[in-house]
Structure 1
Amino acid sequence: MRVAHGSPTFRREETTARGIPPRTTGHATDTELSGRPGPATTTLGRRYRITSRLGAGGSGEVFRAIDLRLGRPVALKVFALDDASPQDVRRYAQEARVLAGLRHPGLVALFDVGADQVPALGPVAYLAMELIEGTTLRDTIAQGALPAGVTAEVGHQLALALAHAHAAGVVHRDVKPSNVLVAEPDGAPVVMDQPVLTVVLADFGIATTRTRSGPANRGPAVSSGTASYHSPEQALGQAVGPASDVYSLGLVLLECRTGSRTYPGAPLASSLARLLGPVPVPQDLGRDWVRLLTAMTAADADDRPPLTAVAAELRALRG
């Protein structure tokens, strides 16, 4: 049994991409789902009874629910189809397809998909996913920079998870701290000065698939992924491949070590800032970290190391 159960949850950030908010409490109602009155609780598919709301994003909301058939908690990602744009519907279908084809301890697990009618809301689609009890890497970094050993452990787990996705032909395209869930071990608070922890990568809503011979699909730069973590090829609206996730992971690890975002600010300015020069990696992080992070954030995708090499380097840096 997993130490924790995982799910992506959402918060709007400075771009149209989705992130992960702190958990909230209280019963989910149709008002929370749609802004219109409804019954005190909602059960979808005659199986998933919503118990609390976790967050909302551009194309759906995420709730804590109980699987009445198996008696376990799940994360339920709900999409109102009547109000959804064609792009939102494509994202829902894409996330379902991607998650169905992936199984790895470092990736959120998909249990079920379905559709139902909700009073005052109409047709909805939903994804039932593994529920992570814990926090997000974004909230953890907000408390201060992480020790080198903890950062290496986080990076090692994420590199292995992304390598698994890449081997299946999936490029995440939105690797960022708010999409990384930090699990509470056996329900205990996360102790971030200890290098032994579990992280899970979530939110494959804008992930793309690639062919064996080519990179993933092109997409608009500012709307695909979060600008602060764009690779140069994303910023330019070019086709992206696995190396784009390597770049984003490099920025995430740099933020873990420094405690601050390398490219903050408005989406367009943030996205384009990395085109003006190399990523500034502080020399006081140590020679090995400077070398690794500089390589991961190389401007040319061909100059970035593969994730297998990144994972090996981070394993050594764990000490």
Structure 2
Amino acid sequence: MAEPSLIGGRFEVLRRLGAGGMGEVYEALDTALDRRVAVKLIRSALLSEESGARFAREARALARIDHPNVVTVYEAGVQDDVPYLVMELLEGVGLQQLLRERGPQDEATVRAVAAGVCRALAAVHEAGMVHRDVKPSNIQLTRAGRVALHDFGIAQQDDSTAVTRTGLVIGTPAYLAPEQVMGTPSGRQSDMYALGSCVYEMLTGAPPFVAESVHATMFRIAQEPAPRLHGGTGIPDDLADLVDALLRKDPAQRPDAQTVIALLRCPADADALVAAAVTGELRERALESFASSPVAADIPPVSGRPSAAAAREAPPWQLPQPDQPLALSSSTRGHILRAMSPEAAEARQREAVNLVLRGSLEEAVQLLSVVAEVWRTIHGPDHPATLTCTYWQGVCLARLGAAGEAVAKFSTVSAASHRALTQQKLARLAPGAEPNPEDER
């Protein structure tokens, strides 16, 4: 399927956010309401009666749930026989990304995140649904401190009337419950087991069962007792007991969502804890991304528009995806710099400024990092275009709480501007230069 530019005659595609098990997800502009949304389409290669049924089930499942810890669906439709789903755009950091970059989380943050996921599951189960794919990559954390569960592509009715055949394993291996591994119908308690795996990973940095292959992982889940968190781990006993209960082999012995919410003892400042974790991760990325680095010597200066071949090789909109590290390899950086024209860089910088102003700092960091290198390559470090980009990097850092680094960026701009003014005055004082009335004042 070709990259869409307009979906449903209304949603203007801005960039590709990533891919799930069933389809591609794009950030788009709702041209009717002037708001950014996420649009999910089934991959053309996966179009079938079964995938269509799953997609329709996801739309129905989300439409039935109105809860702050569950992603909100706006509408669904079909374009060129391809179903699409329009949802709210969840900005921030995915839990999987946070764990990958920062490792195990402190006890209070674990309780806050787990409580948000558990409230989402309580709402899902109350609506008569089973998510069936609860895992860190399907949990989003926002700078406002919100925890949101998403990707309901393989959800099903709680009465086990699944579209898929009995015996077919559905879900992500490391987070599957034993009954799912065995291919038997899954229910609410399967979601609770997956939640236990997520809590275990937040506390330790890895899911409870990890093996050299998918089949080995599934065998361990089905046959081995879950590892315990008691003794010498520094993990509070109540959390260790809760994880043990959630990871029981017998689904009937696992606590339900409402019980887990009570047992978690969620901190009163849960939103602030989640917000701090997200802001801290974004701040670290920004500091790494905005660190001035010499441009690779083999990258030629950019002038004018790129050749058609260069544009095909690395279109300027192909920036790092949200689930990828922001650090660019020298090869990737070179492709971007060769392909992006000054006109494109100006457009991307305007977009980045708008992102900073509306608080979408994750994408702003990506854009400002790339555009800054483009300007340094074209004009050098002291050109107004480069300094403007440096200034907005400082604004972005300030909004992420990196006050010292933000001041350093502003100081760089101020010093360069002062040098430029000094050079202008010296040039006017040179022999033969025309006097400037302003210099005499």
TM-score normalised per structure 2: 0.57
User: Which AA in structure 1 matches 2:188?
Assistant: P
C-alpha contact (below 8 Å) 2:169/2:180 kept by paired residues: no
Q: Which runs of 5+ in 1 are unaligned?
A: 1-29, 34-41, 118-122, 186-196
User: Which AA in structure 1 matches 2:78?
Assistant: A
Q: How far does residue 278 in structure 1 lie from its aligned partner after superposition?
A: 1.8
Q: Secondary structure at the match of 1:32?
A: coil
Match of 1:295 in 2: 245
Match of 1:27 in 2: none
Match of 2:173 in 1: 227
Match of 1:60 in 2: 23
C-alpha contact (below 8 Å) 1:219/1:238 kept by paired residues: no
C-alpha contact (below 8 Å) 1:102/1:168 kept by paired residues: yes
Aligned residue among 256, 259, 271 for 2:218: 271
C-alpha contact (below 8 Å) 2:22/2:153 kept by paired residues: no
Aligned residue among 87, 102, 109 for 2:65: 102
Match of 2:131 in 1: 172
Specify whether residues 315 and 50 from structure 1 end up closer, same or farther in structure 2 by C-alpha distance, changes over 3 A only. Answer: same
1:239 aligns with 2:239: no
C-alpha contact (below 8 Å) 1:219/1:239 kept by paired residues: no
Q: How far does residue 306 in structure 1 lie from its aligned partner after superposition?
A: 1.3
Q: Alpha-carbon deviations, 1:117-174, whole Å to 9, x = none?
A: 3xxxxx3221010100111100101121000000000011111110111011100010
Q: Alpha-carbon deviations, 1:21-70, whole Å to 9, x = none?
A: xxxxxxxxx7435xxxxxxxx11122100011101234321000010111
Aligned residue among 200, 204, 208 for 1:262: 208
Q: Alpha-carbon deviations, 1:202-236, whole Å to 9, x = none?
A: 1110011023xxx5647566741101001111011
Moved over 3 A (4+): 30-33, 80-83, 215-223, 316-319
C-alpha contact (below 8 Å) 1:179/1:202 kept by paired residues: yes
1:32 aligns with 2:3: yes
Match of 2:154 in 1: 206
CA distance in 2, matches of 1:86, 1:263: 34
Q: Which runs of 5+ in 2 are unaligned?
A: 270-441
Which structure has more relative contact order (CA 8 Å, sep 6+)? It is 1
Match of 1:135 in 2: 93
Report matched runs for 1:300-315 at 5 Å: 300-315=250-265
User: Which AA in structure 1 matches 2:57?
Assistant: Q
C-alpha contact (below 8 Å) 1:150/1:318 kept by paired residues: no
Q: Percent same amino acid at aligned positions?
A: 35
1:144 aligns with 2:103: yes
C-alpha contact (below 8 Å) 1:81/1:89 kept by paired residues: no
Specify whether residues 221 and 66 from structure 1 end up closer, same or farther in structure 2 by C-alpha distance, changes over 3 A only. Answer: farther
User: Which AA in structure 1 matches 2:238?
Assistant: D
Match of 1:116 in 2: 79
CA distance in 2, matches of 1:316, 1:54: 31
Q: Secondary structure at the match of 1:279?
A: coil
CA distance in 2, matches of 1:166, 1:174: 14
User: Which AA in structure 2 matches 1:257?
Assistant: L
The structure number with the bigger radius of gyration is 2
Specify whether residues 207 and 280 from structure 1 end up closer, same or farther in structure 2 by C-alpha distance, changes over 3 A only. Answer: same
CA distance in 2, matches of 1:294, 1:313: 13
CA distance in 2, matches of 1:281, 1:295: 10
C-alpha contact (below 8 Å) 2:209/2:226 kept by paired residues: no
Select the structure that is richer in helix.
2
Q: How far does residue 85 in structure 1 lie from its aligned partner after superposition?
A: 2.8
Match of 2:435 in 1: none
User: Which AA in structure 2 matches 1:79?
Assistant: I
User: Which AA in structure 1 matches 2:179?
Assistant: E
Q: Alpha-carbon deviations, 1:277-319, whole Å to 9, x = none?
A: 3210221222111111101111111111111110011125779
User: Which AA in structure 1 matches 2:96?
Assistant: R
Specify whether residues 216 and 303 from structure 1 end up closer, same or farther in structure 2 by C-alpha distance, changes over 3 A only. Answer: farther
Larger deviation: 167-176 or 71-80? 71-80
Aligned residues: 263
